[in-house]
């Protein structure tokens, strides 16, 4: 069984190197569940809170024979999960999502810093309001498989966020699915604010951004039909 490790965040190079070394020592005859457990046990010898988990089924695209496992130094407390349907072809949905992010990403104010031809390494400055304070960071593409999927990470002010977006054909056009996580430093939350309140607020921001994305797709469809 083959496995592709996705170390989160990708900037944690030392942890990523150790994770790949540990994976090379996992017996190849183990089942997936046993192999995941074995790798996690090996990593926890150095990182007691390390977590290994197979990628969410909703994030799977294609069928290249590789299992994808997310590996982190420690368990993360929050989840991102969303799905929207748009009435445009897969290639169009992917292009709007990646190339027009400054137009539909309403949850975070983004400005292009560096755009690369193959997408990986493209960066945007990112600013967002959180609990009354202004946060600044960088949003970057760390993995891209046009027009099937893209993985992004954002970091700044101690906050780390990553998500994987897949694009699959549907009867009406394209289904866009997002799964991911975010990490908030323990000291950032006031005592009076619980995590459920935070998670609901973040989900509302995600939903608002996706509404803007759907609207852009509708405008693109109307323009193509008019031409």
pLDDT in tens, 29-45: 998 889 999 999 999 99
The contacts of residue 56 (CB under 8 Å, 6+ apart) are 81, 179
Cβ distance 79 to 177 under 8 Å?
no
Q: What is the pLDDT of residue 116?
A: 94
Calculate mean pLDDT across residues 146-150. Answer: 93
Task: Write the CA distances from 111 to 40, 105, 143, 212, integer angstroms.
Answer: 38, 10, 20, 17
Which CATH code is given to the segment(s) 80-226?
Answer: 3.30.530.20
% of the chain surpassing 90 pLDDT: 42
Average pLDDT, the chain: 82
Q: Is the pLDDT of residue 184 over 80?
A: no
Q: Is the pLDDT of residue 26 over 90?
A: yes
Alpha-carbon distance of 208 to 226, in angstroms, equals 27
pLDDT band at residue 60 under the 50/70/90 scheme: very low
Report pLDDT digits (tens) over 112-140. Answer: 999 999 999 999 998 877 666 677 888 99
The contacts of residue 215 (CB under 8 Å, 6+ apart) are 104
Report pLDDT digits (tens) over 64-112. Answer: 556 778 888 887 655 678 889 999 999 999 999 999 999 998 877 889 9
Q: Is the pLDDT of residue 57 over 60?
A: no
109-114-117 Cα angle (round to 5): 120
H helices then E strands: how many in the chain? 5, 10
């Amino acid at each position: 069984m083959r496995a592709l490790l996705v170390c989160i965040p990708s900037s944690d190079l030392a942890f990523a190197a150790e994770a790949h070394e540990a994976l090379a020592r996992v017996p190849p005859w183990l089942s997936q569940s046993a192999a995941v457990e074995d790798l996690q046990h090996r990593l926890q010898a150095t990182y007691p809170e390390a977590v290994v988990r197979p990628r969410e089924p909703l994030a799977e695209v294609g069928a290249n024979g590789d299992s994808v496992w997310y590996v982190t130094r420690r368990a993360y407390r929050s989840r991102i999960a969303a799905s929207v349907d748009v009435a445009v072809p897969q290639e169009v949905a992917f292009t709007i999502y990646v190339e027009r992010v400054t137009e539909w990403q309403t949850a975070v104010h983004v400005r292009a810093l560096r755009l690369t031809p193959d997408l990986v390494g493209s960066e945007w400055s990112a600013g967002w309001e959180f609990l009354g304070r202004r946060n600044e960071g960088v949003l970057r593409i760390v993995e891209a498989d046009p027009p099937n999927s893209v993985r992004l990470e954002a970091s700044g002010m101690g906050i780390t966020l990553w998500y994987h977006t897949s694009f699959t054909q549907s009867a009406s056009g394209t289904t866009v699915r997002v799964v991911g996580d975010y990490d908030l430093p323990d000291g950032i939350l006031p005592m009076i604010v619980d995590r459920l309140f935070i998670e609901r607020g973040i989900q509302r921001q995600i939903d608002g951004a996706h509404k803007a994305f759907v609207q852009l797709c509708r405008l693109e469809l109307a323009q193509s039909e008019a031409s």
